Amino acid sequence: MNLWIRVCTLRACAALFALLGPAFGAEQPLTPQQALSYIRVSDFHFSPDGSKLAFFAISYRWDWLPHVRVLDIATGRTRELTPPGKSERSPQWSPGGEALAFLSNRGGKPQVYLAPADGGEAVALTARKNGVQSFHWAPDGRSIAYLAKDDDAPGGDTGPQVADRDSDLAGLWVVDVQSKAQRKLANPGWRIDEFQWQDSARILAAATNEPSVEENTDAIYSVPITGGAFGLMSRPPQPFDSLFVSPDGKEFAVRSTRTKGPVARDLFLGTVGGNDLRDVSVRPGLAVAEMRWHEPGTVWVRVVDGFVNRLYRISSGGVPQRIDLPLSAGSFDVSRNGDIAFAGEDFAHLPAIYLRSRDGRMRELAPVQEGWDGIRLASTTIFETGSFDGTPIEAALMKPYAAPAQAKLPLVLLVHGGPSSNFSAGYGWETGWAQLLAAHGYAVLMVNPRGSNGYSEEFLKANRGDWGGGDYRDLMAVLDAVIAKGGIDPGRLGIGGWSYGGEMSEWAITQTRRFRAAVAGAGVFDQQAEFETEDDPSGDEWYFGTPWEHRELFARNSPSTHIRDARTPTLILDGEEDENNPVGQSKGLYRALKHFGVETEMVLYPDEGHSPKNGAYNIDMFTRILDWYDRHMKKA
């Protein structure tokens, strides 16, 4: 099998890398606590005059609670709006720029707060008993629309929990900014998932009048703010999300799928009131992750291109224009004068905020990370290799910094979540796991197998009804290719992952005994039982149908079917309140491994869901993960 190194496009702008300098200073060991101390920034919004940038920052230092911040573009100074121990998100400037609105729980339940643009004290605009879910400014700045349950809705934490109650549905409300007078618009029995103002008199909403149906039934409706019935406007291909309206209110956009794929990833534009919804994606193979629309006729998008996130400018009737950046782009926004602020990162640099001016000049606006001096990240190479059937598969190999040239390293195969996700060049929870292992002497292999996003939609759909089939063989083919290149000890291999990555780890230990240790985080053990108990089965239904109609397919794709063949010591981790892959899945795996005499440990984290947020719990997980691999893989 041929293995070749792809020239990493992240190194294209040597001048900026000279500006950035080395990733970090003198080398220090990376601890679990340090590995999880990174800060991510997202949801960028320029003020109307372009002088300020609002965003939120999030970190396990704060138990993954988002903090709203405002950055002064001229000075680079950042102002924190969020009080200690509180959570704030969704910053949005008023159309005139005189105020910043955001959601805050500083008074209890999340409410809409308004803060003067010059930095005065924020005050609450809403006082809903059950809190506010989301909101948007009206184009004239006089009112704000928001989603919230009625104040007399039953509490969600106590008392009998009745399924599919209309009273649990959030209604659409409009509040006058000056008087705080408010009125409810939504009709009873509707679930509204997204909304945007069309103009100061109408709102467009992604909604359904069949909220109890556990399938994709949303459509786009027009809602008059004076009240009245919802008017059907468009039925985009399912699934769809990310509803946007053009600044002049004449067009709308959604992220959808051109070939009925499992996730929304293609950009569709249509005329409000027309029947002309059309695919305007950059090109096949690039998945839309985020968009901005500040002037009619021009849409800016961030797309996933394998391991790299890129920015494109799409103009009406023109060829999409790629914006050259030296780093993988995270969240971004575009000012009225064409400046672009974005979160830049790659495997060698943690996220920071950069400004690309309209003439192409680049500068770092503000460092984001704290306490990383003296920490050196592992070197990582992105490459491509042919799989068992010749399909090109992209992967990244991370090795310890300054590893001995002749050493044969232990290697952990890390599998991403999803499956319709991907590894990206940057620093997040999964890559933090990888960097921790690399700092302690491991090579880490991160593969985007068939079913991953950021490639063609055919590639994304290639594991439909086949989890543990072609995707598993992709993982093993890339692993074999890396071992064939040398420098890896084939007798000291491990595997691990979270969610789909946890499930693939469970699957792998039933198919081979070449792994000496496995970590299965919040995975799926029995596909049918998971489908029958998870929070939202629509995604799994796309992949497998329903277990009452395709029982054999669900069994064929379940690690439980083959668990009697497992022999690999396995660490199992999960949140006790996991609703995506309910905790019974982890308990079932643990019970089965014990029954067959396989060494196993299970650790459950109370009051945590599918992705535990508590910082201390995450440090505990990373500590246990490292100890588990060390215990089983460090000895030759």
Tell me the C-alpha distance between 292 and 28, whole Å: 40
Distance set, CA 439 to CA 183, 405, 605 (Å): 56, 16, 26
**Residue 27's pLDDT is what?**
56
Instruction: For residue 212, give both structure tokens.
Output: 């109890």
Tell me the C-alpha distance between 451 and 456, whole Å: 10
Q: Domain map of the chain by residue range?
A: 379-633
Least confident interval from 19-23, 228-232, 334-338, 343-347 = 19-23
Instruction: Tell me the average pLDDT across 173-186.
Output: 93
Q: Is the pLDDT confidence value at 17 over 70? A: no
**Residue 636's pLDDT is what?**
67
Spell out the SS3 assignment of 213-233.
CCCCCCEEEEEECCCCCCEEE
Q: Is the pLDDT confidence value at 277 over 60? A: yes
Tell me the C-alpha distance between 139 and 142, whole Å: 8
SS3 27: coil
**Residue 25's pLDDT is what?**
38
Taking phi first (over 0 means left), then psi (-120 to 50 degrees means alpha), and beta for anything else, what does residue 141 get?
left
Contact 466, 473 (CB under 8 A): no
Instruction: Tell me the average pLDDT across 464-476.
Output: 97
**Residue 317's pLDDT is what?**
73
Crossing angle of helices 429-439 and 615-633, in 10° steps, is 40
SS3 377: coil
Query: What does the longest C-alpha to C-alpha distance in the chain come to?
Result: 74
* Contacting residues for 159 by C-beta, under 8 A, at least 6 apart: none
309-358: per-residue pLDDT in tens? 999 999 887 788 999 999 999 999 999 999 999 999 999 999 999 999 99
Contact 581, 523 (CB under 8 A): yes
Tell me the C-alpha distance between 156 and 154, whole Å: 6
SS3 587: helix
Query: Phi and psi for 562 in degrees, rounded to 5?
Result: -115, 15
Tell me the C-alpha distance between 515 and 531, whole Å: 29
SS3 122: coil
**Residue 3's pLDDT is what?**
34
DSSP state letter for 594:
H
Contact 325, 316 (CB under 8 A): no
432-449: per-residue pLDDT in tens? 999 999 999 999 999 999
Distance set, CA 36 to CA 32, 386, 438 (Å): 6, 34, 15
Tell me the C-alpha distance between 618 and 575, whole Å: 11
Q: What value does the mean pLDDT of the chain take?
A: 92
DSSP state letter for 236:
P
Q: How far from the centroid of its chain's Cα atoms is residue 334's Cα? A: 21
Instruction: Tell me the average pLDDT across 56-83.
Output: 96
- Give 452-517 as a DSSP string: -SSS-HHHHTTTTT-TTTHHHHHHHHHHHHHHHTSSEEEEEEEEEEETHHHHHHHHHHHH-S-EEE
Instruction: For residue 55, give both structure tokens.
Output: 């965003």
CA torsion angle 628 629 635 636 (round to 10): 150
For residue 16, name the pLDDT band (cuts at 50, 70, 90): very low
For residue 4, name the pLDDT band (cuts at 50, 70, 90): very low
- Distinct helix (H) and strand (E) counts, the chain: 11, 37
Amino acid at site 320: P
Q: Please identify which residue in the block is written with the tokens 């800016």.
A: 300
| Architecture, CATH, for domain 379-633 | 3-Layer(aba) Sandwich (3.40)
For residue 567, count other CB atoms closer than 10 A to its CB.
15
DSSP state letter for 544:
H
Q: What is the pTM of this model?
A: 0.93
Q: Is the pLDDT confidence value at 13 over 50? A: no
- Residue 194 β-bridge partners: 206
Amino acid at site 377: L
Tell me the C-alpha distance between 551 and 554, whole Å: 5
DSSP state letter for 28:
B
Tell me the C-alpha distance between 467 and 446, whole Å: 18
**Residue 402's pLDDT is what?**
78
Tell me the C-alpha distance between 292 and 42, whole Å: 13
For residue 64, count other CB atoms closer than 10 A to its CB.
18
97-126: per-residue pLDDT in tens? 999 999 999 999 999 999 999 888 999 999
SS3 384: strand
Q: Please identify which residue in the block is written with the tokens 């309206």.
A: 245
Q: Which residues of 368-399 are buried (b: 16+ CB within 10 A; e: fewer)?
A: bbeebeebbbbbbebbbbbbeeebebbbbbbb
**Residue 188's pLDDT is what?**
81
CA torsion angle 368 369 374 379 (round to 10): -90
Tell me the C-alpha distance between 219 and 194, whole Å: 10
Tell me the C-alpha distance between 130 and 149, whole Å: 6
368-408: per-residue pLDDT in tens? 999 999 899 999 999 999 999 999 999 999 999 877 777 89
**Residue 453's pLDDT is what?**
95
Instruction: Tell me the average pLDDT across 415-426.
Output: 96
127-172: per-residue pLDDT in tens? 999 999 999 999 999 999 999 999 988 876 777 888 888 888 999 9
- Residue 55 β-bridge partners: 69
* Contacting residues for 42 by C-beta, under 8 A, at least 6 apart: 55, 56, 58, 330, 331, 343
**419: cis peptide before it, omega within 30°?**
yes
Crossing angle of helices 500-511 and 470-484, in 10° steps, is 70
Tell me the C-alpha distance between 559 and 548, whole Å: 19
